[in-house]
Amino acid sequence: MPSPSAAKVVLEAQLAELEGRQQRLAQDLAEPLNRDSSEQAVEVEDDVALEQQAALIAREVASVRRALTRIENGTYGSCARCGDEIGSKRLDARPEAALCIDCARNEQ
């Protein structure tokens, strides 16, 4: 399993990246709609896509923050559901993972 301090560096970089994207999305969403009606339809569609992206990023931010909290608590790397160790391959691929692969599969 990757050491918690190495994971923390990765997670903090991820968090900074996600927050940067959040800010850019918020700016895009704050732009006033174009008055031309055909343009407006496109922009409304864009806004829906942007809102979906924003919701997705907000979820990622939350799970990265929770992973950082688990590092603080010393519970990082243990499954939040069954308490088993989360495999190192899984943590390499998804350092913010809170569940072991078995519990994550059951979740879906």
Residues within the interface to Zn ion (CB under 5 A): 79, 81-82, 84, 100, 103
Q: CB-wise, 20 or 83, nearer to Zn ion? A: 83
The C-alpha R_g of the chain, in whole angstroms, comes to 18
Residue 101 Cβ vs Zn ion, minimum distance, rounded to whole Å: 8
Residue 9 Cβ vs Zn ion, minimum distance, rounded to whole Å: 25
Here the contacts of 16-22 (C-beta below 8 Å, separation 24 or greater) are: 18/57, 18/60, 18/61, 18/64, 19/61, 21/57, 22/54, 22/57, 22/58, 22/61
Q: CB-wise, 38 or 107, nearer to Zn ion? A: 107
Q: CB-wise, 69 or 106, nearer to Zn ion? A: 106
Residue 65 Cβ vs Zn ion, minimum distance, rounded to whole Å: 20
Helix, strand or coil, per DSSP, at residue 85:
strand
